[in-house]
């Protein structure tokens, strides 16, 4: 039994997914031209692109899978060559309210021996760690309330450099945007607002819940009677992460929230008009959604939450990972 100690990062919400892809241009075309996410920044030095519809500096990042060191803006190895060789999840990103809260959690994590990597992305300050199954997780705070300006000033440049959270007094101001300016891609058939959910497979749900609640500070909203799946939230109380017990830990899917039932149905109609097939359509009391598979077979769900988004009806799902 793995023993975990209380750290309590307590992020606000799940904010983005970062994926390794086998063909960056092909995946960019899918997520931009079909899924409707706007391309907001390129970082060619590390073969990465960032997409957002305005909720934050990115809802999704795509990185070319290859066995090469990725070097940051100060010459440091940002990502070693033995990482990111195959398509799949790079990391999930969780938004903290302030830098002060992030740094305080960092200090608590150091005190109990948790290994972390810390970086300055210019738009954010971030730390990265692994869960018990090796799933990679980012906890970040916004470093500016005008990420568009930073992107414009740093076009095509490398962004990331090392960060020492203890080197200066952390900022206490909340810089995340409470009233984002959405810019939906009207040329695409699907038109979501932002990344809001993800489902992860874990090898042992009980141990994972100890880690995700005690170390990461998430709150359990629901656990299935058979202990096969649990739904968690950040401090906002909005369901954001499902943990599902399975033999192969990793990402099952991530979810993009759509503005309304009308827009979800319109997206389905536009996709059908293009002859584009959905992998799955879900119409249940807790959500209405459809699922697409990207060029590498990674799944993305477009959803509208029903009943406040806080209820799950697991017996209605043949695949528990879609409980959220």
Assigned token pair, 14: 């799940």
Query: How far, in Å, CA of 150 to CA of 152, rounded?
Result: 5
| 3-class secondary structure, 216 | coil
> Does residue 77 fall inside a structural domain?
yes
Residues 130 and 200 in one domain: no
Residues 207 and 135 in one domain: no
Can you list the positions of beta strands (E) in 77-193?
Answer: 77-79, 88-95, 117-120, 124-130, 136-142, 161-162
Residues 137 and 78 in one domain: yes
DSSP 256-276: EE-S-HHHHHHHHHHHHHTTP
Residues 284 and 153 in one domain: no
Domain interval for residue 138? 13-162
Residues 112 and 233 in one domain: no
Whether the CB-CB separation of 7 and 105 falls below 8 Å is answered with yes
| CATH classification at residue 122 | 3.10.180.10
Residues 117 and 220 in one domain: no
- What is the average pLDDT across 140-145? 97
Average pLDDT score over the chain = 93
pLDDT digits (tens, 9 = 90+) for 233-283: 999 999 999 999 998 999 999 999 999 999 999 999 999 999 999 999 999
> Does residue 244 fall inside a structural domain?
yes
> Does residue 319 fall inside a structural domain?
no
Residues 245 and 155 in one domain: no
Q: How many domains does the chain have?
A: 2
Residues 145 and 281 in one domain: no
User: Is the predicted pLDDT of residue 316 greater than 60, yes or no?
Assistant: no
CA torsion, points 48, 52, 58, 60, in degrees to nearest 10? -60
Residue 164 burial (10 A CB sphere; 0-12, 13-18, 19+): exposed
H helix or E strand, kind and range, residue 137: strand 136-142
pLDDT digits (tens, 9 = 90+) for 163-222: 999 999 999 999 999 999 999 999 999 999 999 999 999 999 999 999 999 999 999 999
pLDDT digits (tens, 9 = 90+) for 18-47: 999 999 999 999 999 999 999 999 999 999
Whether the CB-CB separation of 191 and 157 falls below 8 Å is answered with no
Residues 24 and 115 in one domain: yes
Residues 200 and 149 in one domain: no
Residues 32 and 114 in one domain: yes
Whether the CB-CB separation of 292 and 35 falls below 8 Å is answered with yes
Residues 202 and 120 in one domain: no
**The model's pTM:** 0.95
> Does residue 226 fall inside a structural domain?
yes
């Amino acid at each position: 039994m793995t023993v975990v100690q209380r750290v309590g990062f307590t992020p606000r919400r799940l904010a983005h997914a970062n994926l390794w892809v086998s063909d960056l241009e092909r995946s960019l075309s899918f997520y931009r031209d079909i899924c409707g996410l706007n391309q907001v920044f390129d970082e060619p030095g590390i073969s990465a692109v960032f997409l957002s519809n305005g909720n934050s500096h990115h809802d999704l990042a795509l990185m070319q899978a290859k066995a090469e060191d990725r070097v940051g803006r100060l010459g440091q190895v940002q990502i070693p060559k033995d990482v990111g060789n195959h398509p799949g999840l790079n990391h999930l990103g969780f938004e903290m309210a302030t830098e002060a809260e992030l740094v305080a959690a960092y200090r608590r994590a150091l005190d109990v021996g948790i290994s972390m990597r810390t970086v300055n992305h210019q738009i954010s300050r971030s730390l990265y760690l692994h869960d018990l199954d090796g799933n990679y997780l980012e906890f970040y705070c916004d470093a500016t309330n005008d990420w568009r300006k930073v992107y414009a000033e740093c076009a095509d440049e490398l962004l990331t450099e090392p960060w020492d959270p203890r080197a200066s007094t952390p900022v206490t101001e909340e810089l995340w945007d409470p009233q984002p300016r959405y810019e939906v891609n009207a040329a695409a058939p699907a038109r979501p607002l932002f990344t809001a959910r993800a489902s992860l497979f874990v090898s042992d749900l009980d141990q994972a819940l100890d880690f995700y609640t005690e170390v990461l500070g998430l709150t359990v909203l629901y656990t299935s009677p058979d202990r096969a799946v649990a739904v968690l939230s950040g401090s906002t109380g909005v369901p954001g992460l499902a943990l599902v017990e399975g033999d192969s830990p990793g990402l099952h899917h991530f979810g993009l929230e759509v503005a309304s039932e009308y827009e979800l149905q319109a997206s389905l109609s536009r996709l059908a008009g293009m002859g584009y097939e959905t992998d799955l359509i879900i119409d249940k009391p807790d959500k209405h959604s459809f699922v697409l598979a990207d060029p590498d077979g990674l799944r993305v769900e477009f959803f509208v939450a029903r009943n406040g988004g806080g209820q799950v009806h697991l017996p209605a799902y043949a695949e528990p990972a879609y409980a959220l």
